[in-house]
A and B are shown apart, each in its own frame.
Chain A
Amino acid sequence: MVQDNFYHALKIDAELCIGCSHCMMVCPTEAIRIQNGKAKLYENRCVDCGECYKACPVKAIYIHQDDFERIRSFKHKIALVPAIFHGQFNPSVKRTQVFTALKACGFDQVIEVEQGSGILLEQMKNYLVSHADIRPLISSFCPAIIRLIQVKFPSLVDHIIRLKPPLDITSLYCRKKLTDQGCNPAEVGVFYITPCAAKIAAIKSPVGEEYSMITGVINMDLIFNKVMKKLGEGKLDNEQDKHEPRLELMNWSLTRGEAGRIPGTCLAIDEIHNVIEFLERVESGKVTNVDFLELRACDESCAGGVLISNNRFLVAEKLRKDAELQECGSPDTEIDAYKDYLMRRIGIDKIHPRSMMKFDENLSEAMMKMEKARLIMDALPLADCSACGAPSCQALANDIVMEDKSIKQCIFIQRKRELTGEMTPEESLDLMKEIWGNDKFINR
């Protein structure tokens, strides 16, 4: 497969990075190395899960976002907000207040992402029936999981349900509705308020779609602060009573939001290491009799997104309560008028693997490199100390074969070679400086 350079929302600020290797140790796809005292990202391996962002002690990892002021260059400014957004506020803050505050920030319309979930749910049920030969089927909801499967579980790409996630369905709906109302499509700006980096990456370089319907992405923490400020100013009371129709399926982005609604044996697995553990089982042929997998990269699903300001357990609980309270209201059925239109466009293209596991495209080359890596592993200490700037001995062995690294980066090898006179202590020190930077060898 083509090894395109995928867009990544997660960036490393080299100025701030202290080369502490915390990010490297938590990365589930071993996409980070330390070089010259800084974290370096192997872009093709990164799935934008955000684990490094959470682990960084100096906030050197940041999430690139569009400039908020960009919304002003559009005549029609639409905010696409996941329900998880109001889950962050104090229980006394009503959904309508949050909507009003969002409008006060500059948006003309606020639309909840979960509006598209109803149509999706219906199609997912059909999909499970029409694809009875593929089990388990995997939800296309979490973009970090789709990327994880592409790079780490290439043989499972066909298990991903090829239907648009709610975000894409809802943005399609907004655009169509506004165009039907006579708006010039070029003047419509649809901005998604994101709880995580993976969603940004999915919008900037979509998988299984030619282009995204979303104009820009704004980080949820930024909007949270803006809305908090507006709420604090307290000028929103007059609009508080305005009726907002009930949002069905508002807990879609929480754990079991999908699995709880699909018939059959359905598992909901959140947190990326849990997901990896389970996908290993699936790929090894050990999982039978499971129909559907809801897989989410974050613990507590989107409530645990890296851009969520409040604690994930509290956010999830608030949203669950909200969903229960909402049951009595009349549902928003406006989207149903566009059902046929959306149903026709709900499919996505084939998702291609882009394996980061392979040694080479060519089998005999790959076998040679694998053999070489095996021999290197025999010489390495298997201590996974990562003093070499790679997360494990296996990662170093693969890097030596694939990335032109040297076995002399291993501190155990250095000691042995110093003893035999093959290396001088100065050479060892220079190598260590190349990895960890000069600063770490200066007395503070």
Chain B
Amino acid sequence: MHFEYSVEGGNFSTAGVASSQFKKVLNQLNIAPDIIKRIVIALYEAEVNIVAHANSGTIHIDIMLDKVQVVLEDEGPGIPDISKAMEAGFSTASPKVREMGFGAGMGLQNINNNVDRLLITSEVGKGTRLEFDVKLKTV
């Protein structure tokens, strides 16, 4: 099953709409509560990243029998050093963004902690592509 959401950069008041909507889908599909929690946390963090840093983005989610695959693509500044961005506490968020309770520099870490596979590719000045999987059954 395929789901698609678009994300508006810079609009913090609607940040998290996709994760809220997708959470309902996961509940309806009777996915185990702990798995739902992991997917939703990762999705929300990734969604907020687009809002905080990019101009716009899209989320593509595929639910398969064994996993949920999420691809977030944005048009934005890109990440110059991905491994540095993965470090806990590293943040490029402006003070204004931090004041709103975002940009603590835990986003990518938090995503990484909640997913089974994470792949980030980025081109400076163009945008970032973030792909992650969460397995639905423990093998």
Contact = CB atoms under 8 A, between A and B. Distances in A.
A394 B105 CA distance: 39
A355 B44 contact: no
Given A284-B40, A285-B40, A154 B16 contact: no
Contacts of A11: none
A158 B29 CA distance: 20
Residue from the set A285, A357, A363 with the largest chain B CB neighbour count within 10 Å: A285
Contacts of A7: none
A361 B1 contact: no
A283 B23 CA distance: 8
Nearest to A280: B20
A60 to B, nearest CB: 32
B29 A366 contact: yes
B84 interface: no
Given A155-B36, A285-B41, A286-B16, A363 B29 contact: yes
Residue from the set A361, A362, A363 with the largest chain B CB neighbour count within 10 Å: A363
A158 B24 contact: no
Contacts of B44: 284-286
A44 to B, nearest CB: 14
B30 A158 contact: no
A155 B28 contact: no
A365 to B, nearest CB: 9
Contact of A360 (B23, B30, B36, B43): B30
Nearest to B43: A285
Majority-rule SS of B interface residues: helix
A353 interface: yes
A371 interface: yes
A363 B33 CA distance: 14
A367 B44 CA distance: 23
B65 interface: yes
A338 B3 CA distance: 57
Contact of A355 (B23, B25, B30, B34): B30
A371 B30 CA distance: 14
B19 interface: yes
Nearest to B26: A155
Q: What interface size band does chain B fall in?
A: 20 to 34
Interface in B17-75: 19-20, 23-25, 27-31, 33-34, 36-37, 40-41, 43-45, 63, 65
Given A154-B33, A155-B34, A284 B28 contact: no
Contact of A157 (B28, B33, B63, B136): B33
A153 to B, nearest CB: 8
A285 B40 CA distance: 6
A235 interface: no
B33 A155 contact: yes
Residue from the set B16, B25, B29, B45 with the largest chain A CB neighbour count within 10 Å: B29
B27 A363 contact: no
Interface residues of A, number: 25
Contacts of B33: 154-158, 353
A364 B137 CA distance: 13
A412 interface: no
Nearest to A154: B33
A358 interface: yes
A359 interface: yes
A285 B19 CA distance: 8
A140 B40 CA distance: 25
Contacts of B19: 284-286
A41 interface: no
Given A285-B40, A286-B44, A357-B28, A363 B136 contact: yes
A361 B28 CA distance: 10
A363 B31 contact: yes
A370 interface: yes
A434 to B, nearest CB: 28
A428 to B, nearest CB: 31
Contacts of A157: 33
Interface string A117-148: 00000000000000000000000000000000
A285 B108 CA distance: 15
Given A283-B40, A367-B1, A155 B20 contact: no
A284 B27 contact: no
Nearest to A360: B30
B27 to A, nearest CB: 4
Contacts of A154: 27, 33, 36
14 contacts: A155-B34, A155-B36, A155-B40, A156-B33, A284-B40, A284-B44, A285-B16, A285-B41, A286-B19, A355-B27, A358-B28, A363-B29, A363-B65, A370-B28
Given A357-B27, A366-B29, 11 more contacts: A155-B37, A158-B33, A283-B40, A284-B19, A286-B20, A286-B44, A359-B28, A363-B29, A363-B136, A370-B1, A370-B29
The 3 A-B residue pairs with the shortest CB-CB distance, nearest first, are: A358-B30, A155-B33, A285-B44
Interface of B: 1, 16, 19-20, 23-25, 27-31, 33-34, 36-37, 40-41, 43-45, 63, 65, 101, 136
